[in-house]
Structure 1
């Protein structure tokens, strides 16, 4: 049977790690190798993870080096032909790995393909999913550049991929604090010939976790996010140079400029210069009707300045 390694970085995850591990232990595919890498938790994450040692869960320590370093550390200790990276608070549906693996193994040259799946956003109870992704644009088998141009949200736990793709593309970028998965899987796609979609495989995405990396908006996190966009631009332009690629990239940079104009205007200016260099964006300023009307009349920068003034006065 095909061994799949599931690598789970964990930091202060005691509230969730048990549910996540049980979801992996309950997979309909076997064998599954489960590796938890603790990043220096100061709660009882390690104790709760060690509870499952008798069921074959390997618990390692790689403290205070970050989630990407934990994933790399776990990967280097793994033996599986296929790899599933999973965040410590995101459980899998029981047949997630089996269905994706069967889809891959049914194809020739499966080592050069990676497979994505459905993800359901929930807060406390995974049986109460209030949004199912991904967007329809990537709910199909696609060439890597088509998947990247679509520029739709994904998440780490959605993917299953062959070990050889990681060996070729390289490990996770440990310098990144935001959008690590976006950068990593974009780089993986440089060496893949197809991105598959498995509609019958599901992972549950926990929202509202204030400790989540995706919620980090500090200055270092925003610098890291911008760096990831520079890298993704490099990868996409290696795959295709075209107006549609430029527009997709420009929309990413413009979104960054919108969200950082107030807090990090210098970073927003760098992103805006990239938007202009790439030929401009079609992305409208996100917000309610009043904000959008202000942006139309006065420009998006003035609209955001007015919004800040009004928020200060209330």
Structure 2
């Protein structure tokens, strides 16, 4: 568990791990140079299964890699310091693997808002069938942006050793590149029915909400690297279309703030053969996009936000 300025949430996340029905576990937490009360909150934990390491701020990926280096388990879960696991999450995934270390177990997930678990809704459009990793990834990516949040997966250690650890050059959507690379090193993905990840959403200032130039470049690089792994496996027109759609989503997200990156993404889309992915909008925005074009609408909305 990498942790940076997670004082508000970290004990809830930690308790969701320590209160698992599966008790034979260790929790390695790396405090990545937090400037809030994260360190103080970690000092209050008395469970002997918890190991805490403090380091200067080096980024989420570096902290996750450090935590891995300090761990000893044969099965590994990377887990964010602001999410919550259902009580039987780990037990269900261990049972699903059943000693077969050539597979990776995954669970289901949903979002909750305003720090209120009562707002939780299970994601219904989530593929829950066992499959080979490439087929599962392509099926999951064909409808929308795939969810590759690290807490969903229980990964045998030797698969991580073969795949390599987190890319420390990345920050925003770093899990996209990492999880595709890791999943493709397994023989099978196995769904665990009783494993639910409660994904905290809408946190102001969270890593996923960052729109700096550095974060935008990380998002582009992560998508570029992750999709390259897929194209190396299968470079059909169908796969290229799915890859192009993910670059188009970057264009929609970062225009007009990061025009150079959107130009790079549009060039990549052209190389892949183009995409017909529509601008994600509803209501008046959808009507205006039809009349004026989505770029004009985004420019207008940006001006209004500034004003």
| CA–CA separation in structure 1 for the residues paired with 2:78 and 2:250 | 26
> 1:128 and 2:122 equivalent?
no
Q: Calculate the TM-score normalised by the size of structure 1.
A: 0.90
Residues 1:308 and 1:126: Cα distance change in structure 2 (over 3 Å): closer
| CA–CA separation in structure 1 for the residues paired with 2:170 and 2:254 | 18
Contact 2:107–2:192 (Cα < 8 Å) also in 1: yes
> 1:115 and 2:105 equivalent?
yes
> 1:143 and 2:132 equivalent?
yes
Contact 2:92–2:192 (Cα < 8 Å) also in 1: yes
Determine which of 274, 285, 289 is the counterpart of 1:280: 274
Q: Which moved more, 1:50-59 or 1:114-123?
A: 50-59
Contact 2:26–2:50 (Cα < 8 Å) also in 1: yes
The alpha carbon displacement at 1:270 in A equals 0.7
Q: Calculate the TM-score normalised by the size of structure 2.
A: 0.92
Q: Which moved more, 1:139-148 or 1:244-253?
A: 139-148
Contact 2:92–2:193 (Cα < 8 Å) also in 1: no
Contact 1:50–1:57 (Cα < 8 Å) also in 2: no
Determine which of 191, 201, 209 is the counterpart of 1:197: 191
Q: How many residues of Structure 1 are paired with residues of Structure 2 in the alignment? A: 302
Partner of 2:88: 95
| CA–CA separation in structure 1 for the residues paired with 2:6 and 2:260 | 35
Partner of 1:17: 10
Query: What secondary structure is seen at the aligned counterpart in 1 of 2:93?
Result: helix
Query: What secondary structure is seen at the aligned counterpart in 1 of 2:106?
Result: strand
Q: Which moved more, 1:187-196 or 1:290-299?
A: 290-299
Partner of 2:243: 249
Residues 1:308 and 1:73: Cα distance change in structure 2 (over 3 Å): closer
The alpha carbon displacement at 1:134 in A equals 6.0
In structure 2, list runs of 5 or more residues that go unmatched. none
> 1:171 and 2:171 equivalent?
no
| CA–CA separation in structure 2 for the residues paired with 1:60 and 1:9 | 10
Query: What secondary structure is seen at the aligned counterpart in 1 of 2:84?
Result: coil
| CA–CA separation in structure 2 for the residues paired with 1:313 and 1:176 | 29
TM-superposition CA deviations, 1:146-196 (whole Å, max 9, x none): 222222223221111100111000010011011111111100122112222
The alpha carbon displacement at 1:213 in A equals 1.0
For the aligned residues, what is the CA RMSD? Answer: 1.9
The alpha carbon displacement at 1:127 in A equals 3.4
Contact 1:115–1:197 (Cα < 8 Å) also in 2: yes
> 1:33 and 2:8 equivalent?
no
Contact 1:135–1:153 (Cα < 8 Å) also in 2: no
TM-superposition CA deviations, 1:83-118 (whole Å, max 9, x none): 011001112111000001100116xxx222112211
> 1:224 and 2:214 equivalent?
no
In structure 1, list runs of 5 or more residues that go unmatched. 1-7
Residues 1:129 and 1:196: Cα distance change in structure 2 (over 3 Å): farther
Q: Which moved more, 1:42-51 or 1:164-173?
A: 42-51
| CA–CA separation in structure 1 for the residues paired with 2:306 and 2:79 | 43
